Chain A
Amino acid sequence: MATETIEVAGHIVDSLLLAKILDTILDAGCDYEITDFSIGKTSLDPSRARIDVSGDDEVLSPLLDDLQVHGANRSEQREATLEAAEVDGVLPAGFYSTTNLATDVRVGGRWLPVTNPEMDCALVLTADGEAHTAPMHRVRAGDRVVVGSDGVRVHVPQAAPGTQVFEFMASEVSSEKPKALLVSRVAERLRAARERGAKVLVVAGPAVVHTGGAPDLARLVEAGYVQVLFAGNGFATHDIESNVLGTSLGVSIAEGVPTEGGHSNHIRVINEVRRRGSIAAAVEDGLIPGGVMAACVRAGVPFVLAGSIRDDGPLPDVLTDVVVAADTLRSYLPGVGVALMLASTLHAIATGNCLPAGVETFCVDINQAVVTKLADRGSHQALGIVTDVGPFVRQLADELLSER
């Protein structure tokens, strides 16, 4: 799929030339978007249109030749300037710093779509002519990096059909929204994602376990509503602790009271998992009978656990090199259509930084500041829901699974 911009001017309305050009584009199986149009004020004034034409490469080129006959010419476009990185992990000065919007780079007279939009990265052109974003540390000496902003264009996301939930939520994040309605709309989006084969990414914080939402999240994993899980040492530890010992941070999940010696429960659980080498091994061994992590292992849902400096243990699966952790997360992002951030601040923001703007993002947190911070990260489709995460996940699971 490629996009080219054409321009046509003159008495293109009265002469039906514009109608003919647009019909010709559609007849060829391509699509158009009129990005700029000025209509002549009198019968003498020329009208002008700038049209983005998109279609398959092999159709687009002959189509544009045809359109030239009718006076529609490719607009003059500047090429992207490329400069080779001199040192591993260092970008050329003046590198183009990306947004999370869908982006195209113009090279060799054509617009190349950037395969993985991500903010605060560089644009790198591979030898086989593919344009992709690369975080600074991944750039290698000799990589061709786009410098300046010539030959780069970004697309502001268009509201896709069926995304009214976002229009509904376009107002400020607030705890005053009717929760039941929100839950059912989130459920609707998850169902829609499943129908179109898009992946759902869940980012979960420890509060999901503390508030009793873990069994419901596990139900969602088992039912196939989650394709990737991203979390930290805390979430995984408390999920395992609650399933092995019935407590979360030493507090009984069932009774809500601290248990004797409970303060060390999570350390002991981590130790036992470390003894077995991995969470998967501990599930297989029967140590971990249930919970979100066990559900992921059993359902083959990949999880990425990113560590931090305050982690106990950590669990053997935790990636303690943050750069490796971020890159691992990135490797699971292609195909993600919906991101559900559940009571997580740091991991949610880290994920938000990596996601293309087109991914529908729901951020659920009891703290309005966290929700606002995430929703404001420039993601055009981020929706904040201020609520207690446990009941939210339960309602969501009930809504999604009750029909089954």
Chain B
Amino acid sequence: MKILVVDDEKDVQVLFEQRFRKEIKNKEMEFAFAYSGEEALKYLNELHEAVLILSDINMPGMSGLELLRHIKEKHHEPPPLVMMITAYGDAENYNTAMKLGADDFLTKPLEFSLLKEKLKAIP
């Protein structure tokens, strides 16, 4: 399963690679990283292979919510699953994300054990 992680914090890559060390090693999961909404869209347009997108909402430039709208509106079939992550777990962000078709909504700090369970439940 290929997962695209979108976050403007670059160290998220190292963190995910360590947190999912075993899964990556066993080739259960494969990760790609983008540091902005724009970069994520570019990635998706060039390589249509991510099954799941994990995106931060709070990013400069294109926000995670805008990225979500782009993916859900314009993206190819089948649309990838999109999980939103935010430091601000407020109702407004949650409602907007859900209205735009987010498949899940997680708050920072991420509970990696919970995230792992969610990812493993995806067929």
- Do A and B come from the same complex? no
Interface residues, chain B, with chain A CB atoms under 8 Å away: none
Q: Which residues of A contact B (CB under 8 A)?
A: none
